[in-house]
Amino acid sequence: MRLREIAHSRAGDKGNTSNLSLIAFDAGDYALLERHVTAERVKAHFSGIVNGDVQRYTLPQLGAMNFVMRQALGGGVTRSLALDAHGKCLSSVLLEMEIPDR
């Protein structure tokens, strides 16, 4: 299934770093997210966009994770040539990642 079926996400930007939250709609699905949506998978998902490291932070009590992606915004929001310089759309792109069904 796609992540969109069990989770939501919002993108944030600071300089050349993008962060994506990933939040389970149902706390019961959080373990599934934690198992399958690793920093490595997120880096692979955004290959060609994210040129730096991806770091994952977990907030189990919120059923949420936060992915911090370095060198992800075309050199920085204020100078990027990208159409979506802030990388606002990347949250929705994360949600198309496939993970095994429950």
Partner 1 sequence: MKKSIRIGAGAGYSGDRIEPAVELAEKGDIDYLVFECLAERTIALAQQARMKDPGAGYDPLLEARMLAVLPACAAKGIRIITNMGAANPEAAAARVRDIARSIGLQGLKVAAITGDDVLATLRGGDYLIDDTGEPVSSLGDRMLSANAYLGARPLVDALAQGADIVITGRVADPALVLAPLLHEFGWGMEDWDLLGQGTVAGHLLECAGQVCGGYYADPGVKDVPNLARLGFPIGEVSSDGTLVITKVAGSGGMITVGTCKEQLLYEIHDPACYLTPDVIADFSQVSITEDGPDRVLVRGGRGRPRPPTLKVSIGYVDSYIGEGQISYAGPGAAARGQLAIDIVLERLRIRGVVLSEVRSELIGVNAIFKRGPASHEPDEVRVRIAARADSLAHAAVVGNEVEALYTCGPAGGGGATKSARQIVAVLSMLLPRELAQAAIHFEES
**What is the binding site for partner 1 (CB under 8 A)?**
4, 8-10, 12-17, 19, 21, 23, 25, 48-49, 57, 59, 61-64, 66, 68, 74-79, 81-84, 89-90, 92-93
Shortest distance (Å) from residue 33 CB to partner 1: 13
Tell me what percent of the chain is helix, strand and coil, each rounded to the nearest 5. 25, 25, 45
Shortest distance (Å) from residue 36 CB to partner 1: 19
CA distance 5 to 20: 17
DSSP 89: T
Cβ proximity to partner 1: between 83 and 100 the closer is 83
DSSP 56: E
Shortest distance (Å) from residue 66 CB to partner 1: 5
Distances (CA, A) of 44 to 55, 77, 79: 13, 22, 25
Cβ proximity to partner 1: between 25 and 36 the closer is 25
